[in-house]
Structure 1
Amino acid sequence: MLAYAVFWILARKGPFTALRLCKIMAVLIIAKMTLPWIKDIPSCQIYFFIGGAVYLLITQGWAVNRLVHATGMAVLLAATAVLGNTLTEGKIHTITLILVTAALLLSFLALGKIIKSPRVSGCFCSLGNLTYSSYMIHFPLQIFVILALERLGINPEIYSHWATAVGFLLFLFLLSHASYVFFEHPVQNWLRSRLGRTMAPHPTGPDSSRAIAP
């Protein structure tokens, strides 16, 4: 929740330009690497702002070829980081996780640009709608399942089976979808109406492509 709050507050302070995003992520990376007692907080924040950086790329209107080249470079850097992290026994895991996350996001973004299908776009949108709810629900749901298994006298080892994992994920996505439809989306609309905002169309103006509006 702290990550969402910080992201929202900073967004209200002004648009997320590329320079501003780089400064924020640099501070968070340094904090994670030098302040181990708060490492989990910067970690969560970093991935929020990586997502913001990728959204900034979307609004830049990059050509497909340029995006594919950037994605290839990101994948190469991520692969190099994974190899380096393995050879150094995890000493550069922070940078590795950041590069892998950025490479994955760029890869999905490139696929979305290359595969121009309304069905595929709708699938990505639907999955995107589940991210917040699944993130918030998965941990308490895991605890509930483990406690239920113990209460019913079922061996907890069953939780490690692949079929159980698949069933858990399907149930998690079902709950997340219900949460989005009946809670998250209505609350989003209520907050936007209270703040005097509506869902903005995709940025098209010359200035809107330079920043992420709050």
Structure 2
Amino acid sequence: MARQAPARRQPLSPERIYRTALALIEENGVEDLSMRKLAGVLGVDAMSIYHHVENKQALLQGVFQTVQEELPLPDPMPADWKEALRQLGKGFHQVAQRYPGVFPAMITSAYGTEREREIFHYIQRALQTAGVKEQDMPRATSALYTYGIGMANVAANGLRLRPLYGEPETDRHEAHGTSEADAEFSIEMMLAGIEHLVGRSG
């Protein structure tokens, strides 16, 4: 009887590392993620990961980039700036629904990603079309991005009030996100705010 060839080992790559880390975050949270646990799931020695990822912060940045790349940026951008930002807002909501566990850490991270830069440029182009003045552009872009990603996090995870001192912590899986209709309401409120800003400055 012919001997069966051993199963071919899947090569280690940054993409495989980031996807596996993302799955672990969604299952157990960012705080529980470690290089040792990640290596165990990947079936490799922990030092092998460091050939592809410098440290845990770099690992998280790769995970954030992976998630953000699933946010579509239509090219060409819709001629109607409202529709362009509306699609972006809905995209944020959909990605947050897909990966609710990673969003809180992504929002509070001190470091950005290349994809985040692309999203900022997309927002700026839409705001220029809307008529936002150059001097208002940095604040408007930052506010819009913060609002969009924060709204998406609330839509996926619900509004989490910090517990009072001495009260028991609630399980992180207990909170329920808001509906798609709630997300759309938030997006339209955001667009109305931009219109008001343009009208006032005009």
More helix by share: 1
TM-score of the pair, normalised by structure 2: 0.30
TM-score of the pair, normalised by structure 1: 0.28
